[in-house]
Structure 1
Amino acid sequence: MNLRNTSLKRLFLSVLIAALPMLSFSAQAERFTIAAASDLRFALDDIIALYRERHPDHAVRVIYGSSGKMTTQIMNGAPYDIFFSADIRFPQRLHEADLTVTDPAVYAIGRIVIWSNTLDASQLTLRDLATDERIRRIAIAQPSHAPYGLRAREAMEAAGVWEAVQPRLVFGENIAHAAQMVESGAADVGIIALSLALFPALAEHPHHLIDDSLHNPLTQGYVVTRRGGGNAAVTHFVRFMETDEAHDVMERYGFVMPG
């Protein structure tokens, strides 16, 4: 009897040990981490909320930041499964480095605006940034690693005011940080993402949409990294981003859908 019990215990343990890798894989497959450009902070949060209603067993973690810095992090082994960049050139760079399992794909086109919570930005132009005495500080994202900051610089260069505004510029780590600087009073106005200016708390204050002929397009792209390859939950989320429901959210925040 004891021998039989011992044999059963050994059989049970051997089955359990054999199943552990499968259980571990299953738990891992339902979890994934997204690295996303900070212009997506509100739109992607809304999309993830909708996604969780349909996949409550999927644990989604999202980290927002500047596209350039996140690219460097992924190249250095950061554990991100999907990367949504504000500039498709960064996913292309990862793809060329053989760090992705999908080709870079466009998911939206972004826009930039002049925004302020103390001045009527709808009445401001790029030229006013250099001449209006009420404007002492202008916040933009750091052009060296944030696509929205680079497009802000391009627009001011095209308007002929870039050199004149230099003493007034303050730089955010990313476009959400630049918006926060204006909101907190650290800057009087900012050139920020339309997607942020349309968030209800910010949309109480008017904005001025900058002519997109003054800068290169904000062609935003995504890739699935090598870490995310083979994760069924990652595939489900990428497909959900292509649905009309997700597109409706993106358009509500001012993004232009590809095609």
Structure 2
Amino acid sequence: MSYVEIENLQKTYIVRGEALEVLKGIDLEVEQGEIYGIIGFSGAGKSTLARCINRLETPNGGSIKVGGVDILSLDKKQLLEERRKIGMVFQNFNLFDSRTVYRNIAYPLEVSGFPKNKIKERVLETAELVGLSDKLDAYPGGLSGGQKQRVGIARALVNKPKLLLSDEATSALDPQTTIQILDLLKEINKKAGITILMITHELDAIRYSCNRMAVLEEGKIIEKGTVAGIFNNPKSRTGELFAKVFNEFQNISLSEGAGI
């Protein structure tokens, strides 16, 4: 059953009087409860796609349905309500430095009008889920990169969304921390049944977390299928480049492990 359905999605910006087409007719279906990967090089339109799905950006054409709801037909009040069902994790954490971990996690509840007497319970529950129960009084400046991203994930989850958009969520992290964050996302997916759209340029993140994926190139999805199928038998130029780079990294790692 498809939870995210995107048809002919288009987004154009006007830059210095010139039209810049960023999304050129995206078609995509993501099944409920899966972790779906979208991979592409810088400038392919990945972040714009994520921001259109939760309507931080308004597309110029096409349709987006999340859980059967047409996101583009909603008025402001309806959109605010629907956005609570869509969490987003950013590459650069986007935390409030002047707020403690507790208050960073609580922020979405505060602005959404969540009952004040229930905020503490929800924050503590979410902090425990992401392994931050002992950091609630700390400030972002005193946290590691992985801890900051856990705060970002907690903030994205505190409204108990049905869909989580992960926009380059591990790109600023070292390899060991990346694995920890990916394991956390997989655990959350398994426990809560939350659908995750993982948008990234990182090969290992897709291989490690997803069964299905799409390749984005210059605003178009040029290839879709299983992760194994695309990496083992890519049909597109971008898919071939990603597979080549991944295989080269694998060979380097094997050589280093063998002491060659």
Q: Could you state the TM-score of these two structures normalised by the residue count of structure 2?
A: 0.29
- Higher relative contact order, chain-length normalized (CA < 8 Å, sep 6+): 1
User: Structure 1 or 2: larger helix share?
Assistant: 1
- Name the TM-score, length of structure 1 as normaliser: 0.29
Pick the structure with more strand per residue: 2
Q: Which has the larger radius of gyration?
A: 1
